[in-house]
Chains A and B, each alone.
Chain A
Amino acid sequence: MAAALFAVNRGLDVIQVGSVSELNFASGLLDLLAVHPIESGRVWDDPWAALKKLAEDEPLHPYARLDPEEMAGAFREFVECLDESGQSYVIRPERNSSVITHLGTLKATYAVPRSMYGAAAAYESGQDCLLVGFHDLRGFSSRLIAENLRRCWTGRLRYDTVTVPGEKGELYNEPLARSLENPSKLQSLAEAIAPAIRGDEAVGLPAVLGIKEVRRVHLEMEAILGRPVFEIPTMVPSVTGMRLREGFAGRLRARGVDAVHQAKVIGFARDSAGGFVFQVGGEKPQSIVKAKAAILATGRFFGRGLEADRRRVRETVFGLPVSQPPDRDGWYLRDYFSLAGHGINRAGVEIDGRFRPVGPDGRPVYENLFAAGSILAHQDWKRQKCGGGLAITTAMAAVRASISFLA
């Protein structure tokens, strides 16, 4: 997404091919960097200081190739686009913020949706908070969150569970969130929550305050309850991911990006001028896309950018060389939560200084193919907490590099 945005913002003619449904699993939080080295489990307050150390310690990390100023700029540009689509984000330029998760842990992240930011503010100033869950919303227990958060919280934490009026049976995130865009439905929910409040300075709720209309719904809830309200991301798939996907896709469309989201690249060839000719389709080819340059941002196993059999990991579109542990023994540790991290996470596509995938000789496989995001080797985004930043900042670098090439 980021690559498409940065490219079209810079006047390039862009087609984006591939599934975006994976975004439904996003939390909406955009990480820059929080843990380094991962073996220490040390969480950094200042992501830029962490970045500096990371670049020294791990020169092969994609971040080590980037200029921090450009990285900050890439974040701003990305967040501006989200803002256009109705989702405000809060960035404290020099610091990470801690938000509450649905298991009562605190997550350090960089760019936070405004509807969730109140949690960070409440944590920092030690506010007395009321956490509210909804009956029949599975996997969200306000008591669980309060019990686990208590030891880190300096204020008072209370919890309660209310029944969402007008609902029968199990609650589902998406329909509930959409229904709350209706002012009278929102009003009745607020009225169900209000009696539970007893001098609490802020109220935490599951993240269901609308999808497209989250800005308005959030503000209205705060107005009715008369105090700060913050969302806590729910179990996946959570509407926070849907907000990101729908909002962003809309803005890209408005900017003229051609989007083919129901199909993917299933084959490629090179034309006489060195450009790419892509076959696009599902099970069978449906169309042809010609491009002078391409950015590969297909993700890892979840996104199907990488796949493996019992022996090797492969890159699925171009068959690019993949840096990986010598055998399967080195893929996963037996101790799942070991701070050493799983070897397979560092596997991926290696790049040169221009973000082009390279072969075993260190030379770019194709001069006009660039790569960005989690498919890149030598990073462990899940443990370093750098997923969002990796996507956004390397996309910017790849776009810049492709513009140089095309010039």
Chain B
Amino acid sequence: MNPPGAGSADRRGPFFSRPQGGSAIASPSKSGNSKEMVGECLVLIIGGGSTGTGLARDLALRGVSSLLLERQDVNSGASGGNHGLLHSGARYIGSDPAAARECREEGELLKRLAPECIEETGGLFVAVRGDNENYIADFPAACARYGIPATSVDVREARELEPALAENLIAAYSVRDATIDPFRLSFNNLAQARSLGSEVMIYSRVISMEASGERIVAVRVRNMETGRETVVRPEIVVNATGAWAGRIAAMVGVKINIIFSKGTLLITPRRVAHRVINRLRKASDSDILVPGGTVSILGTTSIRVEDPDDIYPEIHEIDEIIREGARMVPALDASRFIRAYCGIRPLVHTGNGDEDDREVSRGYYLADHDRDGLSNFITITGGKLTTYRLMAEKTADLVCRKLGVAEPCRTRTEPLPDAEETRWTEPGLAAKKALLKGDPADLMVCDCEMVPRSVVDNLIETVRAQKGGVGMIDIGQRSRVGKGSCQGTFCSQRLIAHLYDREIYQSEAGLAEMKTFVQERWRGQQPVLWDTHMIQADLQEAVQCGLLGLELTDDEQPRAEDSASSFEERDEVPKRTAIGRAETCPKR
């Protein structure tokens, strides 16, 4: 007898039928609730970050189809709020040697298999006067012990290579750090998974899970835009929700202790150094300056917080980051930063709670909840972006063991195809293409980043195919619109005009979403508003409030409210004072 799912013709196929075909399994539920859809799937992956998307791809390459659910958009957790650093591993030789080795191996693999997502910048570890001399002395031997290449560099030469470095350097080592675009990575993983028959539902949140006997039998999902609910009956459930893994597991009574460690990062308007610059000391705050496309990213911190949904870069936190970073690169003290953002590292807590958060292992946590009485439930969380592929591999191994699938992992050897639609996240690409094409009729929507109408129209089609609908925020997520120096002040107006002309929006829906778009860009700017940045902020508010009165419009949230959630919900944008519709029309 064939084990279920192994190469047999009646292996359960994709969950959702797509317009271009595939099996339609959804059927009305027995309760007769015509709003509700019920369907089945083989593997249900909850969480669309680097781990979840990587897992979908790994499984797809083994012939196992999956349905991935993501409550917002891809990479909306830590995968979208990190340094973008492909660690050489040297940072962890003191604190976590196993992690150090893993980083080295995985980093080299990814450089070979996903080169379009990676820039091989190289890295430097530098110490300044006052740093711990013992640590510096032990560094080369420790690196050698764990197989991490680290070459001593004369400080004068280091400063020639990177003129931005401080004058009082006392030591420097060259390492094989690189940078990675986590969005391109996740979108590419997802694109290949989908091309092999897997499914994705974004803006789809898991509301509840139902267990019966030793299995999870049903997962209730709500579409956050339409409010519509679907019930999924999965064979296997993988909880890949990062910081929210504890909440998902709690839905079926499984306890996972997660410490939420917030890290804040700042983005400079221009690239400050060619290479990754690391502080040569035991891992601490503001140790790393990472180049990313046309900018540099400075951070980070490690602050324990209570609620992963309510995190914000704090003013004093930012001043600390700048102060510490300026010790390696003095120009950072007077630098402008175009935005600040933060993410949560989920640290699975198995100790007594007294350790410094940097001591809790940065290694990943893979749990087979068979031990908790659920044979078809797995959690994968923790870890680092650099080791996402390994995390996905180990998880897929476990999934396949449970399914009786004997296919081996292919992600160590199969290159990751670069999907056309993901390339618009690359800074400057739209500009290059626009210049080459030279079509004067293809007007720019975003002047700062040179994104023309044709790219926007292209994205409209892509997103529509994935989501059914599309809006400004989707376009902003998948392109550089709004990410340049005007931070969306002007291009948001051009974009919304274009979307209304294309009849994407009806009545005030577009204006409401534009306010959310503007608020999102503001969220990153607000913590770093000082100096010349305030000139642009002044103009922005003068236009958007002084002239347009956008703060006065009465609007509903663009996404459906979560009325019956099992835990406290927080909207992305705090609610305004409710004003009745009639009152917002000026008196005649």
Enumerate chain A interface residues (CB-CB to B < 8 A).
25, 27, 29, 35, 39-41, 43, 45, 96, 98, 101-108, 123-124, 126, 136, 138-141, 143-144, 147-148, 150-152, 161, 168-170, 233, 235-236, 300-302, 304, 307-310, 327-329, 331-339, 342, 344-345, 381-383, 385, 387
A230 to B244, CA, bound (A): 54
A144 to B511, CA, bound (A): 9
- The answer, yes or no, to whether B354 is at the interface (CB within 8 Å) is no
CB atoms of A342 and B534 under 8 A apart: no
A338 to B545, CA, bound (A): 11
CB distance from A75 to the nearest CB of B (A): 18
Q: Provide the residues of chain B in CB contact with A345, threshold 8 Å.
A: 541
A308 to B441, CA, bound (A): 42
Return 26 A-B CB contacts under 8 Å, by A number.
A40-B577, A43-B587, A45-B586, A103-B514, A105-B548, A105-B553, A106-B585, A106-B586, A126-B588, A136-B443, A143-B501, A144-B510, A147-B507, A151-B508, A161-B501, A170-B440, A170-B443, A300-B538, A328-B315, A337-B519, A337-B550, A337-B576, A338-B574, A344-B534, A383-B546, A387-B542
A332 to B514, CA, bound (A): 20
CB atoms of B539 and A138 under 8 A apart: no
CB atoms of B511 and A103 under 8 A apart: yes
Known: A25-B539, A147-B508, A336-B518. A169 touches B315 (CB 8 A): no
- The answer, yes or no, to whether B529 is at the interface (CB within 8 Å) is yes
Interface size on B, residues (CB 8 A): 63
- The answer, yes or no, to whether B494 is at the interface (CB within 8 Å) is yes
Known: A108-B586, A301-B538, A334-B523. A101 touches B547 (CB 8 A): yes
A23 to B501, CA, bound (A): 30
Known: A107-B547, A151-B508. A302 touches B530 (CB 8 A): no
Chain A to chain B: the 4 pairs with minimum beta-carbon distance, closest first: A144-B500, A152-B585, A141-B497, A382-B546
CB distance from B216 to the nearest CB of A (A): 38
CB distance from B3 to the nearest CB of A (A): 53
Known: A144-B501, A381-B546. A329 touches B315 (CB 8 A): yes
Enumerate chain B interface residues (CB-CB to A < 8 A).
312, 315-316, 319, 322, 440-441, 443-445, 490, 493-494, 496-498, 500-501, 503, 505-508, 510-511, 514-515, 518-519, 522-523, 526, 529-531, 534-535, 537-539, 541-543, 545-553, 573-574, 576-577, 579, 581, 584-588
12 additional A-B residue pairs with CB within 8 Å, beyond A105-B553, A138-B494: A25-B542, A41-B551, A103-B493, A106-B549, A136-B443, A139-B493, A140-B497, A151-B507, A301-B534, A307-B531, A334-B522, A335-B574
Known: A141-B500, A337-B551. A152 touches B494 (CB 8 A): no
Known: A124-B588, A336-B519. A103 touches B496 (CB 8 A): yes
CB distance from A190 to the nearest CB of B (A): 23
Q: Provide the residues of chain A in CB contact with B546, threshold 8 Å.
A: 381-383, 385, 387
Q: Provide the residues of chain B in CB contact with A170, threshold 8 Å.
A: 440, 443
CB atoms of B519 and A302 under 8 A apart: no
A124 to B587, CA, bound (A): 8
Q: Which residue of A lies closest to B505 (CB)?
A: A147
Cross-chain contact of B573 among A143, A302, A335 (Cβ < 8 A): A335
CB distance from B315 to the nearest CB of A (A): 5
CB atoms of A43 and B576 under 8 A apart: no
Cross-chain contact of B551 among A139, A308, A339 (Cβ < 8 A): A339
CB atoms of B549 and A107 under 8 A apart: yes
CB atoms of B548 and A139 under 8 A apart: no
Q: Provide the residues of chain A in CB contact with B312, threshold 8 Å.
A: 334
CB distance from B209 to the nearest CB of A (A): 33
Q: Provide the residues of chain B in CB contact with A108, threshold 8 Å.
A: 586
CB atoms of B507 and A43 under 8 A apart: no
Q: Provide the residues of chain A in CB contact with B552, threshold 8 Å.
A: 35, 41, 43, 105
CB atoms of A107 and B548 under 8 A apart: yes
CB atoms of A338 and B576 under 8 A apart: yes
CB distance from A205 to the nearest CB of B (A): 15
Known: A151-B507, A170-B443. A339 touches B549 (CB 8 A): no
Q: Which residue of A lies closest to B507 (CB)?
A: A147
CB atoms of B542 and A382 under 8 A apart: yes
Cross-chain contact of A138 among B497, B551, B584 (Cβ < 8 A): B497
Cross-chain contact of B585 among A151, A236, A338, A385 (Cβ < 8 A): A151
Q: Which residue of B lies closest to A138 (CB)?
A: B494
Q: Provide the residues of chain B in CB contact with A39, threshold 8 Å.
A: 577
A147 to B441, CA, bound (A): 26
Q: Provide the residues of chain A in CB contact with B507, threshold 8 Å.
A: 147-148, 150-151
Q: Provide the residues of chain B in CB contact with A328, threshold 8 Å.
A: 315, 530
A189 to B490, CA, bound (A): 27
Q: Which residue of A lies closest to B546 (CB)?
A: A382
Q: Which residue of A lies closest to B514 (CB)?
A: A103
CB atoms of B586 and A98 under 8 A apart: yes
A35 to B551, CA, bound (A): 11
CB atoms of B586 and A383 under 8 A apart: no
Q: Provide the residues of chain A in CB contact with B500, threshold 8 Å.
A: 141, 143-144, 147
Known: A25-B542, A139-B493, A161-B501. A337 touches B515 (CB 8 A): yes
CB atoms of B537 and A301 under 8 A apart: yes
Q: Provide the residues of chain B in CB contact with A107, threshold 8 Å.
A: 547-549
A41 to B539, CA, bound (A): 21
CB distance from A300 to the nearest CB of B (A): 6
CB distance from A85 to the nearest CB of B (A): 22
Q: Which residue of B lies closest to A161 (CB)?
A: B501
CB distance from A390 to the nearest CB of B (A): 11
CB distance from A147 to the nearest CB of B (A): 5
CB atoms of A103 and B501 under 8 A apart: no
Q: Provide the residues of chain A in CB contact with B511, threshold 8 Å.
A: 103-105, 148
CB atoms of A308 and B530 under 8 A apart: yes
Q: Provide the residues of chain B in CB contact with A342, threshold 8 Å.
A: 541
Known: A45-B587, A335-B574. A105 touches B550 (CB 8 A): yes
A98 to B14, CA, bound (A): 55
Q: Provide the residues of chain B in CB contact with A383, threshold 8 Å.
A: 545-546, 551
CB atoms of B494 and A139 under 8 A apart: yes
Cross-chain contact of B534 among A144, A308, A387 (Cβ < 8 A): A308
CB atoms of A233 and B547 under 8 A apart: yes
CB distance from B335 to the nearest CB of A (A): 11
Q: Which residue of B lies closest to A150 (CB)?
A: B507
Q: Provide the residues of chain B in CB contact with A141, threshold 8 Å.
A: 496-498, 500-501
A87 to B312, CA, bound (A): 48
CB atoms of A382 and B503 under 8 A apart: no
Q: Which residue of B lies closest to A299 (CB)?
A: B538
Q: Which residue of B lies closest to A125 (CB)?
A: B588
